[in-house]
Structure formats: structure tokens, C-alpha cells
Amino acid sequence: METNVQTKETIAKKVEKKPLEKVLIICAKGAIEDVYAALVMANGAVMEGIEAKLFFTFFGLDAITTKQMNNLHTGTIGNPAMRMPGGLPFPSILGMIPGVEAGVSSMMKSQMEKLDIPPVDEFMDMITAGGGEIYACKLATDMFKLEMKDLSEHVKDIITIGQFYEMADGDRTQIIFT
Amino acid sequence: MGQTVIAGVSVDLNDEGYLNDTSQWNEEIATEIAKEEDIELTDKHFEVLHFLRDKYTAGEQLTIRKVGKSGITDIKGLYQLFPGGPLKKSSRIAGIPKPASCV
């Protein structure tokens, strides 16, 4: 009888779901697709009631630097997944022509706008409105000579990676690196 | 979940508790579903719910950004109205399908 109860409990434990409670997302690159991957994940988390913290470091800092954040580009050189509008491969040599990178980037942005994906600053508005927090990396800001005044109003603080790890203090926490 | 009686009416729910038939919805049903989500509906809530239903009926893809630009409330306000699931919970209470949107 006792064994029977135990078995039932074990089965119950097996099917118990443990939903994610917190995500810590690190963005170290500054191309449109890298930054948006981080933003979509963070926004998607807060929309699901999952706590989200974003940490921008190295070239990812462009995404939170007031001067750069709304002018992000995508790389047109050395990107094998890049296609021409009709689906033909995009020759890397085209990407070297001045203005092509800007053109491709603005096309990407207009495609995203059609899907109701906002510009970077507005996206950060949405994330912080849902309780998400945005941080800048201390080491990288020192390296790029950036201070709080250079960064978006959405940036809560400049912190070390150690301080960021301290935020991963729950059972159901995941750290994601893009 | 199948047929469930909510606010005295038998409605068809899917496994996640969303109405299968949008037309079965009324404000009393909304109030009952909201209670399950621990939300006490106010006039502001209903404005959002009707907005969502109108947009859904018009075949538009719903996003929290759209609600934020509706003039009813901003995104922060939307999170306060439907804590922990601004679009998911509001859609369920509005009797429309679970949103298939990432923003």
C-alpha cells in the first residue's frame, strides 16, 4: 500500500510543470538581428509574466547608446543567409558598395514595422513598462568610454557581470547569450 | 475542457480556457473568467476588451503595441490592468483566441 502511494507521488512529480520565472539575457553584438533577438526574448518574457533582465556588452552597447540605438545596421558582408528580395543569393561584393548596407538595413526595419515590431527605443519602452530591466556592462562601457549620460533613459545602471549573475537568484532562472 | 458553465451560460472552452466560439462571449462571462485570473474588471478593462474584440473581428493581428496606441491606455497601464499577461489574459477574458504574436 505504502509503495503504491509513493509510486503515485513519483508520477505526480514527473508531470508537475515548472514554468520559467526569470530570464537573464546578454547581448554582445550590435547588428539589428542580434539586438532584436534579445529584445524580442525580453519582451516576450515580460508578456508571459516572466521577469526579464537585459545586459548589453561590447558592440551590443550600440543598442542602448542614445546616438546609435535607432540607427542599427545589419551586416551585408560575409552573411551567407543574406538574400536578394527575390530569394537569390546576395553577392558579398554588393555589400561592399557604399549605401547598400544602409539600404538593406532600412528595408529590414520597414519589414519589421509591418509586423508591428517597434524601433529599438520604443521596444525598450515596452519592456520596461512590463517591469523588464536593462543594464550596461561596466567593463565594456569603460572600454568604449561611455557613461550613463550617453546611454538611453531605459538603462537602469552600469553593472559588472558579477552583479548581473547575482540577479540569477531563483530556481527557475535561465541565462541566455545572443 | 469542453462545455463549461460560466455565468449561467454553457460555453465551449479549449484546453487553455479560451472560448472556442467568440460569439458566445458577453460581459458577465468576461467578469467570471477575470475572477479566475484574480482580476476585478473596471470600465477601463472593458474598453480594452471591446477594443481587442473589434480588432480581432476585423482580422487584425493583435499586439500590446497596438493596444498601447489605441488611446485607451499605454503599455504600462495595460500591464497594470492585466498583470502577468497583458495580451494573453486580456484575450482570454475578451473571449478571443490566444494571441499568436511575439510582440
**Residue A39 falls inside a structural domain:** no
Average of per-residue pLDDT values in chain A: 92
DSSP conformation class of A31 = S
Q: Do the chains contact at A116 and B101, CB–CB below 8 Å?
A: yes
What is the model's pLDDT at position A85?
A: 84
Question: Strands across the sheet with A133-137, in order?
Answer: A155-159, A133-137, A51-56, A22-27, A173-177
Domain that holds residue A169: 20-31+50-70+120-178
Amino acid, single-letter form, for residue A159:
I
What is the model's pLDDT at position A74?
A: 94
Could you tell me which residues are beta bridge partners of residue A133? A53
**Residue A80 falls inside a structural domain:** no
ipTM over 0.85? The verdict is yes
Could you tell me if A108 and A129 lie in one domain? no
A43 touches chain B (CB under 8 A): yes
Helix crossing, B27-36 with B43-57: angle to 10°?
A: 110
Low-confidence residues of chain A: pLDDT under 50: 1-2
**Residue A101 falls inside a structural domain:** yes
B92 an active-site residue? no
Instruction: Report in angstroms the alpha-carbon separations of B13 from B17, B24, B67.
Output: 5, 10, 25
**Across chain B, how many H-helices and E-strands are there?**
5, 2
Could you say which of A49, A115, A126 has the minimum Cβ distance to residue B64?
A126
Q: What is the pTM of this model?
A: 0.91
B103 touches chain A (CB under 8 A): yes
Q: How many domains does chain A have?
A: 2
Question: Residue A24 maps to which CATH number?
Answer: 3.40.1260.10
Could you tell me if A97 and A177 lie in one domain? no
